[in-house]
Structure 1
Amino acid sequence: MDTNSSITEKRIGDVADLAGQIGPHTELKPGNIDKAFATLTALYALKGYELIRGNPADGAAAYYAMRWDMVKVLPTLDAARAFLAQIGGAA
């Protein structure tokens, strides 16, 4: 048995587990927003995008999905989750 394939399968399973933890009905409380953001960042990376968060000190923290020349402003983490689903990611 190839050990590399089992590692890859485990990592893919871990990402799917993480995606399930922040499903569309997950209530975003202050304690789990950072975790949800980190998970979404990883899921965006799997689709070839970068997800970054604006500075909350500048007002409402917006999120930005970036790929090549495109920047999409996402006003909330829920909007970031919806856009991930739109681009074919697991959200």
Structure 2
Amino acid sequence: MTAAVEHIKKEIRSLGPDEIEALLRDLQNEYVLPPTDDEFASIEAEWDAEIDRRMQDVIEGRVELIPGEEADRQTDALFAKLGITRPVYRP
């Protein structure tokens, strides 16, 4: 590790429990670690299972599909009801 990191670690050791807790909370809010390979594989497996469940719902007629334009109308109506301006994304 670099001297800077070692210095930071030394400084952290001198902090009180409340200060360490606040520091850790700030760091967690500011920095997100990428998932490990195992975590990534687990997330992918969960999404694959969810996709399979949703496809099966469609195939077996448990859900009603609606056209994209209708989904947009319903979403617009919900945003209007809540008084929220719907963001518009343009590539």
Q: TM-score, normalised by structure 2?
A: 0.30
Q: Which has the greater radius of gyration?
A: 2
**Larger relative contact order (C-alpha < 8 A, sep ≥ 6)?**
1
Q: TM-score, normalised by structure 1?
A: 0.30
Higher strand share: 1
